[in-house]
Structure 1
Amino acid sequence: MSGGPRPARLAPADVGRTALAGLRARAGRAVLSALGVALGIAAMTAVIGISASGQEDLLRRLDRLGTNLLTAGPGETLFGEQARLPRAAPGMAGRIEGVTSVAATGAVDATVRRTTAIPEEVTHGIAVQAATAGLPGTLRVRTETGRALDGANARYPGAVLGAEAARRLGVGRPGAQVRIGGRDFAVLGVLAPAELAPEIDRSVLVGWAAAERYLGFDGHPTTVYARAADGAVPDVRDALARTADPRHPEQVRVSRPSDALEAKAAAAGAFTGLLLGLGAVALLVGGVGVANTMVISVLERRREIGLRRSLGATRGQVRAQFLTESLLLSGFGGAAGTVLGAAVTAGFALVRGWPPVVPGWALGGAFAATLLVGAAAGLYPAMRAARSSPAEALATA
């Protein structure tokens, strides 16, 4: 029989218990190091979760509002002047195959005031617009209070207020009167916010016929809203300009309002990338804290290392112990960070009225990142501990 006695194997459970004992011996320092990792992971998880919650809210809003709304408005003439849509543009747009509903608004050269005591030049940024009766239905905007314009009241001096216009005028319920162009108009209702047409929020809407009769409106629309069937949006978009103004289709601007919401989400995604970078920096700082803790632990525990080596512990077993301590330290911090990040996401989403969403890949990726940081932070201290000779460690302890 050749060779000396073989060192006993250290089971994984024994390695874990030994590593936990080492962390408990320096609980305060371990907690602070784990806290650094937890903050970095919480930041990354919260950023991803908040971004995902915002995108989910956007998708739900787009599903509710639809991405099939198109608008046509006047562009510029060849001489750089403001063009005008033909009076028949809304009716012509409604004849396009695939269009399900059409509405229009037209700018009225008038100001609106709450009372005559307010100077005419004080407009509060509120526009007066003539509107067709089908506007709320086409925009999918509900009436907050009162009633919308319809075929019965559109001929008389009545007005419907956009959400922001009602707030600025201090009118919340129907029955009040506002002064438009030197004439009193009864408030018929107040609209809810129009997400796909924010210009409606800052407008006071009067019936098309009433605007022509009482306010000198010329009957030319400034915006035509066309709701198309989902599968017909590209075809309707191509045909809308030349149908709304057959003589000068190049002077018609066609857009899809939902594109603005999607662009806003893309901009928010770019900002999310910046915040993720900051979270990664925080995680790196936490990893440096773990490495620092482990290096100091090796220096403080040289006597323990020497004693274990004298009793037969191999370099591999010592290395495994300190590497496991580092992984446990980072793992505890990562677990706490993912829980904290998910809680922050849920709280922020509930405050904003968003559906709280934390992608599973974010939680798994965040925890995997902590283990990677822990392995990197503990590699050098573990190798340094394993290189210590028993006699030298006991002599310098």
Structure 2
Amino acid sequence: MKVRDLITEAVSGVGARPARTVLTIAGVVVGIGTLVTTLGVSATAGNQIAGRFDAATATGITVHVPVPTGKDAPPAVSWSAPGNVARLNGVTAIAAWSRTPEGRDLPVRANAVRDPTRILDRLLPVLGSTETLPAATRASLAAGRFFDAGHVRRRDRVAVLGALAAEQLGLTRIDNQPAVLVDGTAFTVIGILGTVGRQDQQVLGTAVILPWTAADDGLDLGPISTVAITTALGAAQLIARQAPVALDPNDPEGLEVDAPPDPASLRGGVARDVSGLLLILGLVSLIVGALGIANVTLVTVLERTAEIGLRRAMGARRRDIAIQFLLESTVIGLLGGIVGASAGILAVVAISVVKQWTPVVDGTLAAASPLVGALVGLLAGLYPAMRAARMQPVEALRGPS
């Protein structure tokens, strides 16, 4: 046979039994879909669960301080207040800073020469910080050093640049003691930040960081706007409740605190993620089983057309034929549910023994599994049963065409 004839015969064979072909194709589709869904959902749920555990191990707290209502109003948090928090049991590092308001960054340039043909000013966020900022934000230094308590006390005009800020200003080295002009005031660059470990403080990478005393003198950045706290593992929730009182005893509710999630809520979230993943996989498996039952029942109907014709000729009603095949598919589903529930319980026990876990089996789910299997079999047998019931006795007695 020619290739063209072979293709024609194959297409004709596929189209000869369209219902059976559709069910078979649906089985393959669901099977491949199950594989893709399993891998995709597993990866997605894995990332979700990993993200929750990252949140659990996070020990970072951020306190946002409101802006004073008036120009002469006292600051909500004084620059000495972070020392009160540092004395709390469980605090490993704390830093405070003020910064330019959102949308009102200051012009910064690294060249004092004015060139009308070039735009040298960069609008960057400027921070006036305590010397403990790297420890509290888990920031590393790519070059140079960070300013210390001496710089703060002496009100030295020094600056540390974030990595992106240094790149925008064209500064890659500090051994020649470069200077930057922040809103026209010169500051000597003594360091460049590297990576910032805390994800909620990535703004530091684009900022110009100054000692808060020098920033207050030359730029009038104002009082503390942010306090970053790093705690020991497990102490974040307690410190999140104590820090506002230590920072502002008069009005602790006025401070906004961002803290890691509570371990109890984390546990519930992880449990829901895992349960949702397994539920999706279980439903997909049920669909595969239902298509298998439907396909087998349809094949049975096609193979027993003579029997169906004989029963109709002897007086069996359409309803009797339909009920017969529905009962067969329901029994198949019921047996599958019983065997599946038993196999599932044994698998849970076996895996728990190997992994040295404590097996946990939902008794209600195990008891309901045979009923679920019977329902799946009943639904899967609807089309084949209707197909059998619609057969005319004379046509059925001729057998399959």
Question: Could you tell me whether the CA contact under 8 Å between 2:99 and 2:221 is conserved in 1?
Answer: no
Q: Equivalent residue for 2:226?
A: 223
**After TM superposition, which residue ranges in structure 1, 4 or more long, deviate above 6 angstroms?**
25-28, 78-82, 152-155, 262-292, 304-307, 370-374, 384-392
| One-letter code aligned to 1:160 | V
| One-letter code aligned to 1:73 | H
User: What is the TM-score of this pair, normalised by structure 1?
Assistant: 0.56
Determine which of 67, 74, 79 is the counterpart of 2:65.
74
Q: Residues 88 and 55 of structure 1: is their aligned pair in 2 closer, same or farther, counting only changes over 3 Å? A: same
Q: Which blocks of at least 5 consecutive residues in structure 1 are unaligned?
A: 1-24, 310-314, 332-360
Question: Could you tell me whether the CA contact under 8 Å between 2:147 and 2:190 is conserved in 1?
Answer: no
Is 1:205–2:197 an aligned residue pair? Answer: no
Q: Distance in 2 between matches of 1:35 and 1:290?
A: 10
Report the CA distance between 1:255 and its aligned residue. 0.9
Q: Distance in 1 between matches of 2:306 and 2:189?
A: 88
Q: Equivalent residue for 2:31?
A: 38
Q: Equivalent residue for 1:49?
A: 42
Q: Which blocks of at least 5 consecutive residues in structure 2 are unaligned?
A: 1-16, 312-323, 341-360
Question: Could you tell me whether the CA contact under 8 Å between 1:36 and 1:282 is conserved in 2?
Answer: no
Is 1:112–2:108 an aligned residue pair? Answer: yes
| One-letter code aligned to 1:106 | S
- Structure (1 or 2) with the larger CA radius of gyration: 2
Q: Distance in 2 between matches of 1:383 and 1:130?
A: 79
Q: Distance in 2 between matches of 1:243 and 1:305?
A: 87
Question: Could you tell me whether the CA contact under 8 Å between 1:132 and 1:149 is conserved in 2?
Answer: no
Q: Residues 298 and 149 of structure 1: is their aligned pair in 2 closer, same or farther, counting only changes over 3 Å? A: same
State the SS of the aligned residue for 1:258.
coil
Q: Equivalent residue for 1:149?
A: 146
Higher relative contact order at CA 8 Å, sep ≥6: structure 1 or structure 2?
1
Q: Distance in 1 between matches of 2:156 and 2:179?
A: 13
Q: Distance in 1 between matches of 2:162 and 2:266?
A: 23
Is 1:92–2:93 an aligned residue pair? Answer: no
Percent sequence identity over matched residues?
19
Q: Equivalent residue for 2:137?
A: 139
Report the CA distance between 1:280 and its aligned residue. 10
Report the CA distance between 1:238 and its aligned residue. 3.2
| One-letter code aligned to 2:257 | S
Q: How does 1:292-371 map to 2 (within 5 A)?
A: 297=299, 300-303=302-305, 319=328
Report the CA distance between 1:240 and its aligned residue. 2.2
Report the CA distance between 1:208 and its aligned residue. 3.3
Report the CA distance between 1:201 and its aligned residue. 3.7
Question: Could you tell me whether the CA contact under 8 Å between 1:165 and 1:201 is conserved in 2?
Answer: yes
| One-letter code aligned to 1:99 | V
Cα deviation digits, residues 12-65 of structure 1 (max 9, x gap): xxxxxxxxxxxxx9997565222331355346534542332223332453355x
Q: Equivalent residue for 2:258?
A: 256
Q: Distance in 1 between matches of 2:38 and 2:241?
A: 43
RMSD: 5.6
Q: Distance in 2 between matches of 1:267 and 1:166?
A: 41
| One-letter code aligned to 1:192 | T
State the SS of the aligned residue for 2:64.
strand
Q: Distance in 2 between matches of 1:303 and 1:243?
A: 85
| One-letter code aligned to 1:51 | T
State the SS of the aligned residue for 2:381.
helix
Report the CA distance between 1:102 and its aligned residue. 1.6
Q: Residues 230 and 171 of structure 1: is their aligned pair in 2 closer, same or farther, counting only changes over 3 Å? A: same
Q: Residues 270 and 97 of structure 1: is their aligned pair in 2 closer, same or farther, counting only changes over 3 Å? A: closer
Q: Distance in 2 between matches of 1:95 and 1:84?
A: 20
User: What is the TM-score of this pair, normalised by structure 2?
Assistant: 0.56
Q: Residues 170 and 35 of structure 1: is their aligned pair in 2 closer, same or farther, counting only changes over 3 Å? A: farther
Q: Distance in 1 between matches of 2:299 and 2:179?
A: 78
Question: Could you tell me whether the CA contact under 8 Å between 1:287 and 1:377 is conserved in 2?
Answer: no
State the SS of the aligned residue for 2:106.
coil
